[in-house]
Structure 1
Amino acid sequence: MTAVALDQYLMSVLKADKTGSNEVKLEAGNKNFDLFTIYLENYDTAVHHYRMDVSTIIYVVRGSVTIKSGEKILNLRAGSVLLLTENSKYTVLNQSKDSLITKFKFQPGFEYRKFFKDFAYRGTKEEAVVNKIAHSLSQEHVLWMKNSLLTRPSQIMRHIIDGYLNEELFTRALIGAELTVMLIVSIRNQRMVSSTSLDKTKFEKKALDNYIDNNFEDISLSKTAKYFGFNPNYFSNMVKQKTGKSFVDHVDDRRMQEAKILLAQPDISLKEIISRVGYSSKSFFYKKFNDYYHITPAAMREELFRNAGIHLK
């Protein structure tokens, strides 16, 4: 199922629900699937309060959502993954109108600590990371993986949802393996941009890419340079020298990629897309988009809809 088709299906499930409950259950294609059950967060203007009786993963398929866990306010956008432990409490404060929020509720007895231990190599670095994650979950009951729609973990999560909905052979084994890969890649990415593990004596392009990926909506050269521990002018020259492109070019690349993803979603206006990707001026966004893709946003949207078989009246 394509990304657009999956989004449309999930939205149709929400629209068809007549129960008015905060969560809408997605039926697994294989009735014997026993790893987790997926639910959709229903959309309304009310505040939703939860106390989890099982370990849960929240994945933002589309849009954005603000969640309060303990004293933390978490602004999750599309692609984000949130791990919640058994007995954790959280509140859904608000969602964007186009949001699609999925919840993977594991069977009773599932423990992240054991799951992490199962895929951790018996090396000091890997064990240290696993122990740190397990300790954080035990103390705070929540772990935020700041992925985006373009990152591999997000693509894997979509594939997991698709596999859950379909009746195929070895679904349980495949989804278990994909979940492992998603968590490992997410953990690697988070470590790359961690202020405690980053070596600030050298430039790491992957770290820069990940930082931009997580902050492109509201980013500046000065804030980015400060994060990596450099003077802004020195950092700007270093990025240009090492990559052949300026810092602004790297940010614009990421914003243009996000704009194309959002243009493929029919219920998001161009005005909202411009704001989401971090531009304040419509004319400036149109110029950047045309320079990058050599086509207008409206023409690109028509082409994306046509390729996806979407026909709007």
Structure 2
Amino acid sequence: MTLDCYLHDNGAMAKEVAAFAANPQREIAAFVSQEAQGKVEVPQGYTRILYILEGEARVEIDGETADFQAGHLFLTNGRTKIVYEERPQTAVVSFYFKDSYFTDSLLTQFAEEQQLYRFFVEAISEEFRQISRYMIFHFAQMTDVHVYSLLLLKQVVKMYYFNNKVTKAAFVLLVVEISQGADQALVKKDRYVANDQLIEEVLAYIDTMIRTVKLEETADYFHFHPNYLSALLKEKTGQTFTEIVLHKRIQLAKKNLAQTNLSVQEIVEHLGYKDKAFFYKKFKQAVGMTPRTYRIHCKEGK
């Protein structure tokens, strides 16, 4: 197809994106860099989709560099830093979206595609303004992702970059197609883990390591400073790390007392306590009776 959107160097890209930014009527832009000379910086501040139409390029994303081929697709928020350098006979299409593009009515059209729906919602939220978020996919050449990328490109350029229903329909088709193959095609993503998901993983780790778990080792496992992890747990659960561990150990002790014939001493040792008196004290404070009394009550069905 014949388009007037071809760019050949970084200066042309910067100029076109600046014009896009300055025009309040434009919410989406699309360009193709073809055998561009030198490195091309992808301006930040916009949600972006980059797709390698043909050839290959060396791409630096947040400081990490790797070679990518035709079929690789990059989905990024406005914080992610991307620089690429094309090899001969290479073409890369870039889509830029202002936050205003993502209306509720548009997002609703692919709400069932949970992974990508969440990505676009978070991309325009204040919470993630300073956090780089991206996903990199690799699709086989000439799949529907390729077709819909070209369809969206053609429609955006045809409408001189202004929105219309067909443009948005082409965008939704592309997003749904990416989503349908996302599980198999995803090759890399940012290292960010949402706090709620992180807390679930930390609690699961504590369960697994309940006998020997320590704050410093847990923080090191998740690559956090102990003080940060402790404060995050307190904020999200209302309990300190020590309180969480104690609660889990008491719950496990109650289960063992009720369902096994292990002696109290064996249960205490299994939970990682060397000081039996200390655990007795904490157990009684939490349950209202000693471990032995609790076991008797369980056997009596009380």
- Give the TM-score band, short-chain normalised: 0.3 to 0.5
So what's the TM-score if we normalise by structure 2?
Answer: 0.46
User: Which protein shows a greater Rg?
Assistant: 2
So what's the TM-score if we normalise by structure 1?
Answer: 0.45
